Structure formats: C-alpha cells, structure tokens
Structure 1
Amino acid sequence: MNFLRKIAYPFSLLYGFITSVRNFLFHINVLKSTEYTTPTIVVGNLSVGGTGKTPQIEYLIRLLQNNYKIAVLSRGYKRKSEGFVLADEYATAESIGDEPFQYYQKFKNIIVCVEANRRNGIEQLEKLTSPPDIILLDDAFQHRKVKGGFNILLTSYHNLYVDDCMLPTGNLRESKLGAKRAQAIIVTKCPENLSKQQQIKISSKLKPRTNQPVFFTTISYDETLKGSHEMELEDLRTAKILLITGIANPLPLTNFLSEQQIKFKHLNFPDHYSFKEKDILNINQAYNAIQSKNKIVLTTEKDYVRIFGRLKNVYYISIKTSFINHKSSFDTIINNYVEQSTGHR
C-alpha cells in the first residue's frame, strides 16, 4: 500500500459508509430492485478489475449456448457510443467496448449488447422479436437496481476481498458483507497445483454462508496463437517478442511466458487503454528496433480487438477458465438454475 493510499484512509471509511447505506436501503426495499422474467446470471466482484470476469462469462457461454439463446449485457466500458447498442456487423471495440466486441467476434450465435442502465438493457432485450432465454450480466454485482437471478462473485487468489479494504486506500467497491448476495463464489487465477488443504483454508477465510459454495479456477492459455495467421506457442521460444498489454493485471501472463522459457520485451499500458496514434508509432518503433527477422508483436485477446489492423505481425494468446476440481458441480448448479427458471417463464 503506497503512501497516498494510506493517507486516503478517512475517505475509504466515508466511501464504505455511503455504499453500506445504499446496500441497506436496497435490503429494506426503500430502493427498489427489479426482477425480470428472463433468467439473469450476474458475474462480478467486490474489487476493481482483474478478477477474470471475461473468461468466466465465456465459460458460461460455452456451457449454455447449445441449449439456450444467450444474451450478454455489458456496460461497454470506455466505448464511444451512448445508450443501448446491439452489436452487429458494424460494431467495433470503440463503439461497444473491447470485451463486448471480443464476445461478439468469438461467439456468432449469441446476442451481445451494451447499456450502462442494466434495467433498460434487459427491457430492450425482452422486446426483441426473438428475445434471449438467458441474460448474462457482465460486471453488474453492484448494479442493485436489477435483482440478479443467480449471482457469481469472483475474487482473485492473489488479492482475496477479505484481505482488501475500501477505495481509495484499497480496491473494494463495497463492503466485504456484499459477498453474502452471491449464490456462488469463485476464487480465480489460482495455481494449478492448489492443494485441497489450501482450498479448505481459503474457503474458511472467506467464511461463506451455508449453501454458498466456493469454487477454485485457474487460467489456461491456448497452445495456438491467432492473429496474422496461426502459430504454436512453442515457436515463441525461438522468436524475438514485443509484448503489449493494456489489462488490469498482466502478471499472470508474464509469469506464464517466463515459465515457458519465452523471452520478451514488455510494454505495459493501463487497463482498457485506448491506443492513440503516437502509441502505435512508439510500438512500431520498438518493434523495428528488434534486430531479428523472426520477431512478432504478442498481445492479449482483449487488447488485440483494439489494435489489430494498426500493427504488423501481431498475434494474441487466448485464455480460458478451468476449474481445479468440482467442475461438474458448478455446471450442474448453473444448468439447474437456468432449466428451472426458463421452465417457470
């Protein structure tokens, strides 16, 4: 914790008080939460950024897409449009945001839309000629005006919400008590070899409610890179690599590359960074300065949708959420919720 964050602690107390009062008013129905006919699954966190919401949304899409018509509703962070926007063939990362555009590019049989007002977003989806069977709400855990049917709370292994404190001293958006609203908690970005004893210790630390299961996932990296064309991960060991990232926490990726004995030069930008022309110029200069014919620009999938077409010889590495254990239990819980909810419509 740096010095500025320490001296901001009084503001953290004030912010925590304000968010707690807000949550209490929702709890006693002074502020109203709207519940919708269409089943909704909320994926979110208590802290700002970096808990793995995007791969978790993609996991749910893969789990459900063969049996249900899915819509993903996101805020569309840093997009240049306003209001409700339905992704179509004219959509770009600038018009709907990088993560929604990634969903749209990757999954052709789902609906992707953005709207900061989640209530209006859901209402617009329900008015479609062919409305969705299930709506996935990306990063909406604090959007209390919508009562999610099933709430999934993510917390990073390296920064559990129970070890954090409120903004601006820490990274919490609301009190740790907010975790009680979740129907399931997922500890993300765990080491692959996390033992059962360590899992039990972390679960005990989180103090979940009765019938509030805790799951543990890790990040799996694709063995095949995509971009200019396809290449295998192992080919990176003999290449000169310029790594470009504009995500909340690039450490898991840089650690993975190092573990694979892949050397790289890293240019790190802020999360959801909007690359300007001068940035592209600087990246190209850094790339041209590499003295090798076997060289590439490597980036994340989320960054790729913002810079493809602006750089030459650029590739991205995809990630997936993998459950360390109890995957079938999680899948069953989700499938049961969706099946029962759609059956009651």
Structure 2
Amino acid sequence: MRWFEPLLFPFSLLYDAATSLRNYLFDIGHKKSINFDIPTIVVGNLSLGGTGKTPFTEFLIRMLADDFKVATLSRGYGRKTSGFFLANDSSDANQLGDEPFQIFGKFKDKISVAVGEDRVMAIPQIIAERPETEVVLLDDAFQHRYVKGDLNIMLTTFQRPFFEDRVVPLGTLREAKGGASRADIIIVTKCPDALDKITKATYHRKIRNYNQRAKIFFVGLKYGQLQNVLDDQLPIPQNFVLVSGIANDQLFKKEVEKLYQVPFHFSYSDHHHYKVEDVKEIVYKCNEVEDSGILTTEKDAVKLKASIFRDYLAEIPIFAMPVEINMDIEDANFIKESILQIIKEKGYSE
C-alpha cells in the first residue's frame, strides 16, 4: 500500500457511493434510459481511459462501413466547442476532440462523425441531418445510461483488468466493478502475443465474478507502417524523439523501441493540449540528435498538424505509428453477427 492511500480512501468511498446510487436509480427505472429505433452499439469501459476504445471503434467501422451507413457519436473530450457538432471538411481537433478528428480523418468518405455531450439529443440530430444513417456507434458511452444501447461492449486491458482495479482516486475505475454486469460483450485488450490458455481461463473466471452472461474475448494490438504526417518526401530517420499524449504509453514506447532508436521520450497526459512551448522543446531535442525526427501516435499527430506549429516543424520529419485491433477471425465474426442481428431486428438491412 502506498503511504498516501489512507488519505484517498474517503474520497474513493464517496465517489463509489455517488456512482452506485446513480446506477441504482437507473436500475429501478427512476432515471430513464431511452432505446432508439436506430441500432445503437455502445463501446466503453469502467476505467478512465487507455483501454483501446478508439482502435476498437475503428475496428467496428471497418467491419460495418462497406455495408451500412455508419455514424459515430462521442462526447468529444478535450474539444473547445460544446453541444452537438457534426464533422465536415473544415473541422479540426479543436472542434471535435482529438479522437473523433482522428476517426474523421480516416473514414470521412464512408461514415458520419458527430460529437455531443447529450447523446439523447444528439442521436435525433444525427438522423435529422443524415437520415440515411443505419447504425450509430457510441464511443465511450458505457456510463451514459440515458441511452440504452442495443449491444454494450466493455473493454478492459490485460495489464490492468477492471477486477484488479479500484474506484478513483485509489484506482482508475469510474464506477464499481459490478458495473461490468451491464456488458453484453467483454473484451480484454492489449493482450500479449500467444496468450496461454491458463491465463485466459484465469481472466475468464475472474470476469465471471461480475458478469455471468457476457461473451469474453481476448485481443491484441498490431502496429502498422509509419505514416508521414506533414511531408511525404522526408525519409525515415535513424533516431526518433518519441511524443505521446495517451493514457498509457508504455506499450507504444516498447513497440517503437523494438524498431528504432529512441534517445528521448516526451510523455504527456492523455488528451494533452500542445502549446508552442511544447513544440519548441520537442524540436530542440530533435536538433540535438543527428538524423532524428519525431514519432508520435495517430491521436497526437492530428494536433501536431495544426497550422500554428507548421513553421516550427517544417524541416523536422514527423511520423505517426498507426495501431489496430488484432482479433481472431471467429471472434470478430461473432461480434459482426451479433450486430447484424440487431440491425435486422430493428428493420434495417444491407
């Protein structure tokens, strides 16, 4: 036990009591959940972040977007706007938030991307502006119980599974572990390669203490080819100053260090708002190392591309390392079939 944990215990107890009361009011129907006619798929977690929600949302987009008109809806954490906003060609990360903007940049020709704190109001607005929409993916909405999703997918990491975590501020949980009971599918993310059957069985048994019915899957991450952020003509350097502003960057750093020399790492908090001073410091470190550039995450890359930084980064090679969900084909097919069944039941078809 850390020496300061007794000081945090009362705050954790109060937070747990408040969220438990809120969930109880939803459970007994005192607070109302709305189920929409349009199919709604909830992707979320119990923890504050870092479980791989964005790669998994992108995984679902790739799964569905060729056959259906898909819209994603999230709160748009970290954006400088408020209320409902539907992405368009002039949108940026300040309007959408970094993760929705990342998704829009990748899939804007295939899907609609919307942000809005009040999902109950936002879903009808999506339908009004994009009446062709056939399925809505609710990103980071596991605690947003005013919308009753047709399929609730909960993510938890292999490194810090929810059943070994605690409610904030003692841990990272936004609500008690029992909240996992609402999930229809539980996915253990960021699993190591060749995960053995004994470890899977242990996780399975511990998850079953909180949810007896959900299907449980184990997935890893796969990293793609480096993508040039600003100038496609610049070659890949030998050394990289690593820049990350994500909830847990250790796996990202470990993967990069397998392939490249990393003389320095700027590790910022999740959803970090980059300032000119940050960029100047990063560039200074790059200039200290011969044949070096910047390597960052896709989420951070969308912010470093902002026009305010262009003059400082004009001659610095900047690359992003994309990441995707790595899931067994049979498990992926089960999820797809579950979603297709919901779409069919609600009167939508391919």
Query: 1:166 is paired with a residue of what secondary structure?
Result: coil
**CA separation of 1:261 and 1:297: change in aligned 2, threshold 3 A:** closer
Amino acid across the alignment from 1:189: K
Between stretches 208-217 and 132-141, larger displacement belongs to: 208-217
Taking the aligned partners of 1:255 and 1:341, their CA distance within structure 2 comes to 44
8 Å Cα contact 2:43/2:154 also seen in 1? yes
Counterpart mapping for 1:118-197 below 5 A? 118-197=119-198
Query: How much has 1:7 moved relative to structure 2?
Result: 1.8
Query: How much has 1:341 moved relative to structure 2?
Result: 2.9
Gaps of 5+ in 2: none
Q: Which residue of 2 aligns with 1:83?
A: 83
Deviation beyond 4 Å, 4+ runs, structure 1: 229-232
Taking the aligned partners of 2:347 and 2:252, their CA distance within structure 1 comes to 38
Counterpart mapping for 1:171-320 below 5 A? 171-207=172-208, 209-229=211-231, 239-260=238-259, 262-290=261-289, 292=290, 294-309=291-306, 310=309, 311=313, 312-320=316-324
Q: Which residue of 2 aligns with 1:69?
A: 69
Query: How much has 1:223 moved relative to structure 2?
Result: 2.6
Q: Which residue of 2 aligns with 1:112?
A: 113
Query: 1:15 is paired with a residue of what secondary structure?
Result: helix
8 Å Cα contact 1:45/1:155 also seen in 2? yes
Amino acid across the alignment from 1:281: K
8 Å Cα contact 1:44/1:154 also seen in 2? yes
Amino acid across the alignment from 2:86: L
Query: How much has 1:2 moved relative to structure 2?
Result: 4.2
**CA separation of 1:278 and 1:261: change in aligned 2, threshold 3 A:** closer
Q: Which residue of 2 aligns with 1:48?
A: 48
Amino acid across the alignment from 1:245: S
8 Å Cα contact 2:241/2:262 also seen in 1? no
Taking the aligned partners of 2:130 and 2:73, their CA distance within structure 1 comes to 17
Between stretches 7-16 and 39-48, larger displacement belongs to: 7-16
Query: 1:297 is paired with a residue of what secondary structure?
Result: strand
Query: How much has 1:230 moved relative to structure 2?
Result: 5.5
Q: Which residue of 1 aligns with 2:7?
A: 7
Query: 1:127 is paired with a residue of what secondary structure?
Result: helix
Taking the aligned partners of 2:337 and 2:132, their CA distance within structure 1 comes to 24
Percent of aligned positions with the same letter in both sequences? 37
Taking the aligned partners of 1:138 and 1:117, their CA distance within structure 2 comes to 13
Is 1:98 aligned with 2:98?
A: yes
Query: How much has 1:263 moved relative to structure 2?
Result: 3.3
8 Å Cα contact 2:46/2:162 also seen in 1? yes
8 Å Cα contact 1:133/1:342 also seen in 2? no
CA RMSD of aligned residues (A): 2.0
Taking the aligned partners of 1:195 and 1:215, their CA distance within structure 2 comes to 13
Normalization by structure 1: what TM-score? 0.93
Taking the aligned partners of 1:213 and 1:184, their CA distance within structure 2 comes to 5
Counterpart mapping for 1:306-345 below 5 A? 306-309=303-306, 310=309, 311=313, 312-324=316-328, 326-343=331-348
Aligned residue pair count:
339
